[in-house]
Amino acid sequence: MSKKLVVRNCTVLTLDERRRIMQDAGIAVEDGKIVKVGPADTVSRGFAADEVINAKGCIVMPGLICAHTHLYGIALRGSALIVKPPSDFLQILQRIWWPLDEKLTNEDAYATTLAACIELLMSGTTCFADTYSAPNEISGSLDYIARALNQVGIRGIISFEATERRNASEGKRGLNENIRFIKKRNKGKAMGMISLHASFTVSDNLILQGTEASTKYRVPLTIHVSEGPNDLYHNIERYGKGTIERLNDTGALSSRAVLAHCVHLNHKEIEVISKTSANVAHNPMSNMLNAVGVTPLRDIVAQGINVGLGNDGYIFDMFENMRTAFLLQRLARKDPNWPSPQEVVEMSTINAAKAYGLSSIGSIAKGKRADMIVIRPSFIATPYSGSVYGYVVNGLKGLDVRDVIIDGEIVMRERTLAKIDIEDTEKKVLKSINRLWRRLGSSPHEAVEALQENKH
């Protein structure tokens, strides 16, 4: 690892407080921290760098931050699950996700984390917030996830999704796994948080305990909120109140809270979220996949609520998620002016960092940790200088990311991962997923075997 690194000759999209964009600029990094940002010559002057990255023709921006994911969702890609077709969101959970959860082992946690982290990193994401669910192997699961992310070299806020969908003791064990991991020392680049599944699978008691733990250990608290309409039905029938009202009454809403989805909210609920300074994680591609509806994002942002962009375990290239967030709102609201490309980039960097209380990442500024991506499209059709935000949202994809730097360490150089052997990992991951698919009992594992035979 270079202790002193300079990245120079590039366009820098800083996302700093003034949202500066610099041409022909440079960034100096010392011991993982950004020490200078400015014109390329000034940055290099008097700075004896151990390594210089010539980023001529590149855009350098903060590493992308995925504000909500389920890394193990990658196991579903390409699987031929034979299930009765679901007709709504609750059935998607009951017929696809929950049966998958029940088959997961710690080995799957490890393999799917490796696979998803490699995809995230290679497409420019340097930090993510994950919630994992495996009711039959709860204890110790977060250690497997942490081990995998540290092997890849990416940052992650990880958690076990506590749920009482089968019984109360399962919820307690899930919460305890989070607390165990939060208290653990030497987690490398992994951080802990508290995760509750959704209001319709947790009791008031578990929400109270989760909130208490989040306050006590000063970590984020995340929960799925109003992804489908069933949260509302459940809370009205069982508690006589709306979803946000119930969460607020149990004390769960605060600046530490990250509410995933928020598709079905009314104006009053948006006002309550705003008053409590809770954050929202927006997942447009997953919302489209599950056909749950369109988040009232304009109203949420207009109330000053901080929004981060997530992928909900679906498409791991955050450039695709940015583009979808940008396009879906324009179409749904028939407004070709909102959101702006800048707002979408902010949701994937500085706002996502803020949602999880991570003030040391999310922008390129003096004093911040050096989490940066160097982007070089294979063909540059137009100059970046007109609208860099527009270029990022309308023109780029994960494959355009050339180098990735996390904590000042170059973890991907010229599209080659520095810390992990990709071919060897691919073999291991495919074996694991193959075993998982066999246990799911309805998938053509032969396809994976054939693929392996062809390759090796």
Which of 92/270 has CB closer to Zn ion?
92
Q: Are strands 64-69 and 125-132 parallel, antiparallel or unpaired?
A: parallel
Which of 128/389 has CB closer to Zn ion?
128
Beta-ladder partners of 159: 131
The stretch near Zn ion (CB under 5 A) out of 7-15, 118-126, 311-319, 360-368 is 311-319
The stretch near Zn ion (CB under 5 A) out of 14-22, 228-236, 312-320, 353-361 is 312-320
Q: Distances from the Cα of 356 to the Cαs of 130, 215, 254, 310, 364, in angstroms?
A: 12, 13, 12, 12, 18
CB of 256 to Zn ion, least distance (A): 18
CB of 411 to Zn ion, least distance (A): 26
* Positive or negative: CA dihedral 91, 96, 99, 102: negative
DSSP one-letter string for 203-236: -HHHHHHHHHHHHHHT--EEEEESSSTHHHHHHH
Which of 61/258 has CB closer to Zn ion?
258
Report which residue's Cβ sits closest to Zn ion: 312
The stretch near Zn ion (CB under 5 A) out of 34-42, 79-87, 308-316, 391-399 is 308-316
CB of 69 to Zn ion, least distance (A): 7
Q: Distances from the Cα of 88 to the Cαs of 5, 57, 177, 230, 443, in angstroms?
A: 51, 47, 31, 10, 23
| 101 is an interface residue for Zn ion by CB under 5 A | no
Q: Distances from the Cα of 316 to the Cαs of 13, 120, 195, 290, 450, in angstroms?
A: 22, 6, 21, 16, 25
Which of 311/432 has CB closer to Zn ion?
311
Residue 271 contacts by C-beta under 8 Å, 6 or more apart in sequence? 303
The stretch near Zn ion (CB under 5 A) out of 142-150, 198-206, 307-315, 414-422 is 307-315
Which of 119/312 has CB closer to Zn ion?
312
| 312 is an interface residue for Zn ion by CB under 5 A | yes
Which of 63/73 has CB closer to Zn ion?
73
CB of 224 to Zn ion, least distance (A): 5
Q: Which residues of 260-288 are buried (b: 16+ CB within 10 A; e: fewer)?
A: bbbbbbeeebbebbbebebbbbbbbbbbe
CB of 260 to Zn ion, least distance (A): 5
CB of 187 to Zn ion, least distance (A): 22
| 161 is an interface residue for Zn ion by CB under 5 A | no
- Is the separation of the CB atoms in 391 and 375 below 8 Å? no
DSSP 84: P
Which of 152/262 has CB closer to Zn ion?
262
CB of 172 to Zn ion, least distance (A): 21
Does residue 135 have a cis peptide bond before it, meaning omega lies within 30 degrees of 0? no
Site residues for Zn ion per CB under 5 A: 312
